[in-house]
Amino acid sequence: MKTAKKLLTYAVVVGLAMVCAMNYELFVFPNRFAPAGLNGICTMIQYVFGISVGYLSLIINVPLAIWVYFSVSKPLAVRSMVYVLTFSTCLLLLDRVNLTPFVYYTQNGTSAILGPLVAGIINGGCYALLIQASAYSGGTDFVAAIIHKSHPEKSIFWLIFVMNAAVAVCSYFVYDFQIEPVLLCIMYSFMSSSVSERLTKGVRSAVRFEIITNYPEQISDAIINRLHHSATLIPGKGMYLGREVSILVCIVNKTQVASLSALIREYPHTFAVMSQVNEVMGNFTKIDVHGQQEKQLLDKGDGKAV
């Protein structure tokens, strides 16, 4: 079972790399703009000197992957290198294929924003799935992992921001002193970051219930038996009437919100405050709508990328 999960994880990494390579060929390269990060630099070098991004990606990422392998995480480096190798190989192979019937671009530039828009959405979705497979796409991710390992107190946000800003500014000079490539780069980066962040948070998020009740034992038993989660009891006091009450704090999956809400309505004079939890850390079990533990399809390795 563990071997099958690892094979599936590597298959997902390879598939995502293939999708991203096709994304570059169909939506990035034809529309004359540079995406974010080190691949954006490679794209501009390809535009000026004709050196394929496939070769440039290998030249940049192989040394970084080796560094990550010895200093950060071996499984993370191996999976990420599988992605990089597949991505570069696909780009080199696709350079020999006539994709003209499928490429999106406009001669007069009337719909120039659609290419970067779609490219950013696809890249963001692929990146979110790649993180679930405990792998990186190389480039900036490798640099960030290395810096974070040596200096965990430092934020990598500004490093990524400066690099992306440099790509956007340089694209003005590379693409014939036009402002449009700069705007397209910013749009691509925004869409990619927004989609990946939304999908990643959706996987990690949960819902917190604070239940005020006079039936703490009955509700706790129902939560344990029906939802297969537990609750924390906190003694409280209602200040309006001065009566002692019980507060149950419970974290459940988003799919269980309706079930817990229905459970609370079974008990008189019981109400709850519900809030969104952006991320749950530690030993929190994902339960589906049928009360069964959700199976993790992909192997997490040592979890360094999550």
**Residue of 237 and 161 predicted with greater confidence:** 237
Residue 220 has pLDDT above 80, yes or no: yes
The DSSP code sequence of 152-200 is: TTS-SHHHHHHHHHHHHHHHHHHTTT-SHHHHHHHHHHHHHHHHHHHHH
Mean pLDDT of the chain: 86
d(CA 251, CA 260): 10
Cα–Cα distance list, 46 to 15, 18, 50, 190, 278 (Å):
24, 19, 4, 23, 40
Span 62-84, mean pLDDT? 93
Gyration radius from the chain CA atoms = 24
pLDDT of the residue at 179 = 92
109 φ, ψ (degrees, to nearest 5): 75, 15
For residues 292 and 232, the model is more confident at: 232
- Could you tell me which residues come within 8 angstroms of residue 221 by beta carbon, excluding any fewer than 6 positions away? none
pLDDT of residue 85: 96
Q: Could you give the CA distance from residue 92 to residue 1 in angstroms, rounded to a whole number?
A: 35
pLDDT tier for residue 104 given thresholds of 50, 70 and 90: very high
How far apart CA 182 and CA 204 sit, in angstroms, is 33
Is a pLDDT exceeding 90 seen at residue 121?
yes
79 touches 301 (CB < 8 A):
yes
- The more confidently predicted of residues 74 and 155 is 74
Angle between helices 53-71 and 37-49 (to 10 degrees): 150
Would strands 232-238 and 243-252 be described as parallel, antiparallel, or unpaired?
Answer: antiparallel
Q: Which residue has the higher pLDDT, 229 or 157?
A: 229
Tell me the pTM: 0.78
Q: What percent of the chain has pLDDT over 90?
A: 52
Question: How confident is the model at residue 198, as a pLDDT?
Answer: 81
Say which residue the tokens 């924003």 belong to: 113
Q: Is the pLDDT of residue 161 over 60?
A: yes
Across 233-237, average pLDDT: 91
Between residues 286 and 212, the one the model is more confident about: 212
Q: Which residues pair with 212 in a beta bridge?
A: 247, 271
Quote the pLDDT of residue 147: 82
Q: What is the pLDDT of residue 286?
A: 61
CA-based torsion, 262, 264, 265, 271: positive or negative: negative
Return the structure tokens found at 115. Answer: 């290419």
- Tens-place pLDDT, residues 195-209: 988 887 766 678 899
pLDDT in tens, 275-303: 988 777 666 666 655 555 556 667 666 55
Tokens found for residue 184: 């397209």
Q: What is the pLDDT of residue 96?
A: 92
Confidence of residue 14 (pLDDT cuts 50, 70, 90): very high
pLDDT at 100 over 50: yes
The whole-angstrom separation of Cα 146 and Cα 154 is: 12
Given a cut of 50, whether residue 306 has pLDDT beyond it is no
CA distance 182 to 29: 14
Residue 157 confidence (pLDDT) above 90 = no
Q: Assign 288 to helix, strand or coil.
A: coil
Which pLDDT tens digit goes with each residue over 19-57?
A: 999 999 999 999 989 998 889 999 999 999 999 999 999
The DSSP call for residue 31 is G
Other C-beta atoms closer than 10 Å to the C-beta of 301 total 19
| CA-closest candidate to residue 240, choices 266, 208, 274, 269 | 269
Phi, psi for 241 (deg, rounded to 5)? -105, -5
Report which of residues 305 and 129 the model is more confident about.
129
Look up tokens 């790649």; give the residue.
130
